[in-house]
Amino acid sequence: MPHQDHDARVGSFLSQFGQTSETTEFFSPHPEGYVPGRTSYVAVLGTVMSGLGKGIFSSSLAKLLKDKGLAVAPVKLEGYLNVDSGTLNPYRHGEVFVLDDGTECDMDLGTYERMLDQNLSVQNFTTAGQIYTEVLDRERRGGYLGRDVQMIPHVTGEVKRRLRQLAMTGGPDGGPADLVFIEVGGTVGDYENGFYIEALRELAFEEGQGRACFVALTYVLDPPTLGEQKSKAAQLGIKRLMESGIQPHIIACRAERPVEETVREKVSMFSNVPLQRVISMHDRDSIYTIPEAMRAQGLDREILTILNCHSRVNTVHEDTHRGNWKSFAEKLTGPRQHDVNIGILGKYTALRDAYASIDKAIEHASTHLSIKPNLQWIDTTEISDPGKELSELNLHAVIVPGGFGERGVDGKIHGVQWVRENKIPFLGICLGFQMAVIEYARHVAGFTEANSTEFLADAAQPVISELPDQKLIEDLGGTMRLGGQDVAITPGSLASFLYDESTSVRERFRHRFEVDPSFIEKLEQAGLIFSGRHPEQPIMQFLELPRSVHPYFVAAQYHPELTSRPLTPQPMFMGLLAAAILRSNPSLTREDVSTRWIPEPSANTAVPPTQSSSATPSPCG
């Protein structure tokens, strides 16, 4: 069928689907201006079990196609009823990743941003709670013209509407996308994601042949006692997908070691998928080596063939981006010059996914600085004698990450005191920033009862608090400051050096409590430097100590780890690890390490405190 005839047929089909009356059962709303055939869809679904790395797989695949010059737009479809991820416990679902627009979402969105080097938005993340809320609100407004509202077609119709809206506006600068990559959370057969799978089946049918590609990510068992790989679980999982009306085009087999040829043959035969489209996705040292492994197996070419997109490839664009990524991957897997011990003092350390972005930010910076990082995950709820317990670890750098609640706070404060007094390179993040302020206030500035109103509502010296004036400033009410915010940087400071002499940077926030402005002047007089602030209000966002006092002591109220990318590592992590190299080997000089990330010895020896006109007298006199 000629291309234009196909588009006309689909357009007529969608026009009928947009109707809702007694004369038709078709209902599939699509955004005004949507052009059928303009965008193709790639859906990634999991079988056998969760936790296979669908986000890593999908983002790696999307990167391959983006490198070819295609505009890609990823979306994560979550089955839980939460409207977003903001209230989820890290132990249940890993870290909460925050997008620039303030969306609190699944950690897989961080994987997409890092892999694609692309800022995402609220339209790249959907939960069942969002879908049901929208459908019920529309029903209350009379949007269904008296129809009885059902899972099919109305809930599935809302899913398709959102996917088509993303196709129209999810590309670069809000333009159309060539490819939409859809990751369905959970596993095929779960009750909560069944309507997503049905919606994708309908979408593929409505868009027409060659407009959708289904990828099944499955798991091949490898019991040590048997000594051979078993594919039966994978076969049954794929069968469950086919029973849903979806014939996969590609099957990716997860396994600990390369999937054997006979196993791939069994899976191919059972699923009606050609052998060259049944690929091995075995464990690797880093997720950043996966795109090239996919390319080596020809997965990108198979996708282009299935979706008839070969003519859209920009080979010059691909060569450039592939070369840049290959250079990073070679550094990633190559030998390292420096061994560095990094302590992470948190209260969710039993689950690495709770600090996934910090882990990746360290990986990015370590690769560029040729460091072999030895991460020590330290539970601050178990620290009783930091002077002894931390000293035994021979740490060369310490990170105190964010968090909420009082649990583990004392351990963090003691840890900050230890790194400050022993001149260990230090990076505090969000709550870590607040702990650094409290510690300095107690042990240097003389505010012995300094605390945060988050932990002690009637604190005698609330150096950290949620201020009414700040609520009015940001229109916060009872909610957090979320998403991208501008930070004004003091010229001549260490912050300015790290950010390449910039006077303003944009970083992502997720917090409620601030440094109380009434304490700022006293803290600065005691030697603490607030070198990053809100552009207009007395809200402190970056602190440091002079290099004459400490080799590297910085903290940020924002989350710098959220903006770190493989090819552009975050400056605060680069500075921390560069300082850690010198700590690990005192015989080295700054010239031996990196002149870019270690300032001259004379730099930042003192930064005059900036008096805040809005500051009021300290309650302590």
Which of 382-391, 419-428, 466-475, 597-606 tops mean pLDDT? 419-428
Q: Which one-letter DSSP state was computed for residue 142?
A: T
Closest CA to 511 of 401, 423, 421: 401
CB contact at 8 A, 342 and 580: yes
Q: What is the mean pLDDT of residues 545-566?
A: 96
Residue 29, pLDDT score: 77
Q: For residue 229, count CB atoms less than 10 angstroms from its CB and return exposed for 0-12, middle for 13-18, buried for 19 or more.
A: buried
Residue 613, pLDDT score: 36
Distance CA 541, CA 556 (A): 6
| Of the options 3.30.2130.10, 1.10.1200.10, 3.30.70.250, 3.40.50.300, the CATH number for the domain spanning 14-326 | 3.40.50.300
Residue 147, pLDDT score: 85
The first and second tokens of residue 360, run together, are: 């990746």
Q: What is the mean pLDDT of residues 251-259?
A: 95
Q: What is the mean pLDDT of residues 531-557?
A: 95
pLDDT of 328-339, one tens digit each? 999 999 999 999
Distance CA 235, CA 486 (A): 51
Q: What is the mean pLDDT of residues 593-606?
A: 72
End-to-end CA distance of the chain: 83
Q: Looking at the DSSP assignment, which residues form a beta bridge with residue 515?
A: 464
Distance CA 612, CA 441 (A): 18
Whole-number Cα distances in Å, 106 to 111, 195, 296, 356: 10, 20, 29, 11
Angle at 364 between CA 358 and CA 368, to 5 degrees: 145
Q: Where are the domains of the chain?
A: 14-326, 339-593
DSSP string, 174-234: G---SEEEEEE-S-TT-STTHHHHHHHHHHHHHH-TTSEEEEEEEE-B--TTTTS-B-HHH
Distance CA 507, CA 603 (A): 24
pLDDT of 113-131, one tens digit each? 999 999 999 999 999 999 9
pLDDT of 474-533, one tens digit each? 544 445 789 999 999 999 999 999 999 999 999 999 998 999 999 999 999 999 999 999
Closest CA to 268 of 252, 257, 290: 252
Whole-number Cα distances in Å, 451 to 139, 459, 462, 515: 49, 6, 5, 11
Residue 26, pLDDT score: 64
pLDDT of 407-464, one tens digit each? 878 889 999 999 999 999 999 999 999 999 999 999 999 999 999 998 988 899 999 9
Q: Which of 12-21, 143-152, 313-322, 382-391 has the lowest mean pLDDT?
A: 12-21
Which of 138-142, 360-364, 469-473 tops mean pLDDT? 360-364
Active site residues: 430, 559, 561
- For domain 339-593, give the CATH number: 3.40.50.880
> Biggest alpha carbon distance in the chain?
83
Q: Is 25 a residue whose pLDDT tops 70?
A: no
What integer best gives the mean pLDDT of the chain?
89
Distance CA 95, CA 141 (A): 36
Closest CA to 204 of 53, 64, 4, 13: 13
Distance CA 103, CA 89 (A): 16
Closest CA to 470 of 531, 517, 535, 509: 517
pLDDT of 43-75, one tens digit each? 999 999 988 899 999 999 999 999 999 999 999
Strand order in the sheet with 481-489: 371-379, 338-346, 397-400, 426-429, 553-556, 540-544, 529-533, 481-489, 504-511
Percentage, residues of the chain above pLDDT 90: 73
455 Cα distance to chain centroid = 28
Distance CA 97, CA 541 (A): 19
**Which carries the bigger pLDDT value, residue 604 or residue 80?**
80
Q: Is 569 a residue whose pLDDT tops 90?
A: yes
DSSP string, 583-617: HH-TT--HHHH-TTTS--TTTTS-------TT---
CB contact at 8 A, 41 and 211: yes
Please tell me if the domain spanning 14-326 has the same topology as the one spanning 339-593. Answer: yes
Residue 590 CB neighbour total at 10 angstroms: 17
- Sequence-distant (6+) residues with CB within 8 A of 177 are 39, 71, 72, 73, 166, 167, 168, 170, 171
Residue 253, pLDDT score: 96
Residue 387, pLDDT score: 78
Residue 166, pLDDT score: 97
CB contact at 8 A, 248 and 240: no
Would you state the torsion angle of the CA atoms of residues 494, 496, 498, 499, taken in this order, to the nearest 10 degrees? 160
Residue 220, pLDDT score: 95
Residue 94, pLDDT score: 82
Residue type, 45: L
Q: What is the mean pLDDT of residues 456-473?
A: 78
Q: Is the pTM of this model over 0.85?
A: yes
DSSP string, 3-30: HHHHHHHHHHHHHHHT--BTTB------
Distance CA 563, CA 416 (A): 24
Q: For residue 473, count CB atoms less than 10 angstroms from its CB and return exposed for 0-12, middle for 13-18, buried for 19 or more.
A: middle
Helices (H), 369-478: 386-389, 409-421, 431-443, 468-474
pLDDT of 350-366, one tens digit each? 777 889 999 999 999 99
Q: Is 19 a residue whose pLDDT tops 50?
A: no
CB contact at 8 A, 250 and 215: yes
What is the number of residues in the chain?
621
Residue 470, pLDDT score: 52
Distance CA 475, CA 481 (A): 9
Residue type, 199: A
Q: Which one-letter DSSP state was computed for residue 123?
A: G
pLDDT of 196-240, one tens digit each? 999 999 999 999 999 999 999 999 999 988 889 999 999 999 999
Residue 12, pLDDT score: 47
Q: Which residue has the tokens 């600090």?
A: 355
User: Where is 62: in which H helix or E strand?
Assistant: helix 54-67
Residue 472, pLDDT score: 56
